[in-house]
Structure 1
Amino acid sequence: MTTERTIAVVSAGLTTPSSTRLLADQLTAAVRDNLDGRGTPYQVRVFELRELAHDLTNNLLTGFPSKELGEVLEYVVQADALIAVTPTFSASYNGLFKMFFDVLDDKALVGKPVLIGATGGTERHSLVLDYALRPLFAYLQAVVMPTGVYAASSDWGPHAVALRARVERAATELVDAIGNARPVQVDPYANPVPFEDLLNG
């Protein structure tokens, strides 16, 4: 019997509707289609971070999440994979996106497959994937998919076919990573033996 897979999706768009949520929905749909094609049972939940903005601020100030935010954080921690999408602000992710991962425990994403996506007005911001998002998730020790998906305003018109190809490639990589998931390797140097104990044999 195939184990049910769980996927968490976080979208940091600030408006309704937003191109960020649109990209998150396209990535989610592609992952669903891929899992359906493999006959893999799954559960997907999409979280709009704008709806948690006040809770995130309060968590940063007090150190404690609200019940709603706590449930979202728990789902993300327990999920088999994560899709994370942000609009581009000043050549980086926006503050709402950063706040969410600031309140998440540093070890929560260790070994977790993550598909990253970003939106922006022009193609010149596409490097946000490699110069902002990848370093963030590398610090959190997540396994970031080789294909990140950036969507500029021009990608939603006649060029949507090219965007769709990137979305499908990224979705396939994420589903492959979920299927090939292995236990996280323990860092042998994380808790070194004190030097005096080594001297004492």
Structure 2
Amino acid sequence: MGHMRGSARLVLCAACVAGVLAFAGCAPQAPSEGSRPDRSTPVDVEFAWSAEADCSMCHADEADSMTMAGYPAATHEAEGETCASCHADNAALASAHEGALPSSTMPKRLTKTKVDDTLCLACHDQEELAEKTAASTVLADSQGLVENPHALPETENHTAIACSDCHKMHSPETAAETAKAKCLSCHHENVFECNTCHEEM
């Protein structure tokens, strides 16, 4: 009797498998290659930049950073700022996007455009920033010399430093990390005092 039940179960299982395979054979099949375009491959249509363009269509990583906690861009977005609030160099942006296609490689940093300090300082007061970071020890060299990141000694090289050199809006890196790295790009011996590494000629 038990043997009969086992056989019946086996026949029932085989019938179910056959039915599923028959149904799958009737299911809609993917069209043969060449019958319709592959939607995973972007169609290369030349992009004409404008101030009203949807930047996220191509700059997805940057767009994502505007909603991710811990990213400075997210703080700005929460305060109602948009891409155009900071990226306002319209002529340079139009030039940078000439010949751009959806398949073009996205640059990892600005090369043809920049975020001007005047845009940052329209909202952030330089003197207030210097007061807030007066006790900061973020910029300390190997000799114990500490500099206020918002009140650096006035030198030709320091005046060339832009807000965006230290404050990376679309990166999780903190200003503490990027600011020290910026200093070390010139003070490569981690000594801030000049004329202590190289003898004057």
**Same-fold call, TM > 0.5?**
no
TM-score by length of 1: 0.21
The structure whose RCO (Cα within 8 Å, separation 6+) is larger is 1
TM-score by length of 2: 0.21
Determine which structure has the larger strand proportion and give its number: 1
Determine which structure has the larger helix proportion and give its number: 1
